[in-house]
Each structure stands twice: as structure tokens, then as C-alpha cells.
Amino acid sequence: MQAETMATKKPQRRRASRKKQTKRKSVWRWIGQALLSVALAFGLSAAALSWINPATTPYILSESMRLGGVTREWVPMERIAPDAARAVVAAEDANYCLHWGFDMAALRLAIAEGGDRGASTLTQQTVKNVWLWQARSWPRKALEAAITPLVEAVWSKRRIVEVYLNVAEFDEGVFGIEAAAQHHFGVSAAELTLRQASLLAAVLPDPKGRQAVNPSTFIQRRATAIAQGAETIRADGRAACFVD
């Protein structure tokens, strides 16, 4: 009787094991299909936005809901002062024309300094602003790292700067270089001087806490350094990939 019982239990265990394996395979298959669908969605979106201007972004939408509206007006690169583009690149990613989305030298320096120094490139920031959320987290950084090479492959360097300038936040509820120029200085993006553009670029790391008008001593010094960097970029031809 005991032998019969053992003989009966063995096939049952094997069937249970096979069911678990089948279930496990189904879960991994579902995860793989989900990841493939997400990758395809991002790929199609990146391809479309290489020539279609994004109507909004997750962050702009959330801020619009929180504030009851935001100020934003899209302008093409042709209507943005070249000094504005150079100033933003000088402030956020001086090696922009020299890398493919990741500045490895800046990344190594950030690691050496314990992570207190930012190492995100302009492309990474554009990816974050267009598709992702603002709060720092490993899932966001992983998605950002995955999408950045795709954007570099599909978009031109000029297009990346154009989109960034039109979705970046320059004050609470003020998005894009055109709205920022009018809000802070009463001029269009095409009329910005290098000094004005440098002041706007100086507030980008903390647009809610920094002011381009009546700037602090720190912001004034930072703007001066940015203007010098923009002049260097112009003089040595590094702006050729996005302006000239």
C-alpha cells in the first residue's frame, strides 16, 4: 500500500513541477512582450518627434494641472538667437557636439567626486523632459539611459537643442525659451542678447529657486562664466552641429 502511495505521488509532483515551469515561462514571456512593446512605443515616438513638435510633456502637463495653466510658445531654431542656443549648451553640456549622448569624461568625474556633480548631457535632459518624470530614481535613470542613444540616432543635434529649448522650465509655469524671454526680459527669443541668454541658462538647474531678473551675486557670476563658455563654443566652431 505504501509503495502504491509513493508511486502515485511521484507523477503528481512531476505534474506540479511542470505546471510551475510553464507558469514561470509564461510570466517571463509576458515580461518580454511588455518590454518589447514599451521599446517599440518609445521608438515610434522618437521617430515621430524627430519632425513633429511635442504638444506637451508629462511634467508640463502636471505643472499645468497644479498651477491651473502654464506659459509656453513653441518657436523653431530659426527664431531663437544663436547666442541663446550657445549659452544653454555652454551651461548644460559644453561637450555636446563631441559625444553620442553620454559624456563619459563628465561621468567619470562625477563618480570620482562621489556623485555630487551632475553628469547628464543635454540629450539625457531632453529625454527626461519629453518622456519621463523629474524625480530622481533608478527606474527613471535606466529608461533615460535606454532612450538617449535612440534619440541621438534618430534626431539631429540641432533638433535635440531645438526641442530642449522649447520644453525646458525657466521659472515656475514658464516653459520654453520664447516664453522665458518674454516673461523675464520682454523680448522674443530671437532678440535675446548673450547676457540675457546666459542669465536664463544660469537658472536652468533650479528654475523655481533662481531668478534671471534681479539675479543674485551667484547667478551673475554664473551667467558671466556661461557667456564666456558660449563665446568659446562660437570661436572654436563647436556650435556647428546645432547652430552654424
* Cα–Cα distance measured from residue 66 to residue 231, given in angstroms and rounded to the nearest whole number: 38
Q: What is the pTM of this model?
A: 0.85
Q: What is the mean pLDDT of residues 126-143?
A: 93
Is residue 212 within 8 A of residue 244, CB to CB? The reply is no
> Quick check: 70 and 60 in contact, CB under 8 A?
yes
Residue that wins the pLDDT comparison between 79 and 7? 79
- The C-alpha cell of 55 is what? 504638444
The pLDDT, as a whole number, for residue 111 is 64
Of residues 29 and 166, more confidence is placed in 166
Tens of pLDDT, residue by residue over 83-117, are 999 999 999 999 999 999 998 877 776 666 655 44
What is the share, in percent, of the chain residues with pLDDT greater than 90?
Answer: 70
**pLDDT exceeds 70 at position 180:** yes
Residue 159 to residues 132, 162, 188, Cα–Cα distance (Å): 18, 5, 20
Is the Cβ–Cβ distance between 135 and 195 less than 8 Å? Answer: no
The region of weakest confidence among 14-23, 47-56, 149-158, 227-236 is 14-23
pLDDT given for residue 117 in this prediction = 47
Rg (CA), the chain: 24
Domain chopping of the chain, boundaries: 1-49, 55-241
Phi-psi region of 101 (alpha: psi -120 to 50; beta: other; left: phi over 0): left
* Nearest-angstrom CA–CA distance, 128 and 143: 9
Q: Are 105 and 97 in contact (CB under 8 A)?
A: no
Phi, psi (rounded to 5 degrees) for 65: -70, -40
Residue 185 has pLDDT above 70, yes or no: yes
Q: Output DSSP code: residue 135.
A: S
**Separation of alpha carbons 151 and 45, rounded Å:** 10
Instruction: Domain 55-241: give its CATH superfamily.
Output: Biosynthetic peptidoglycan transglycosylase-like (1.10.3810.10)
More confident residue, 117 or 19: 19
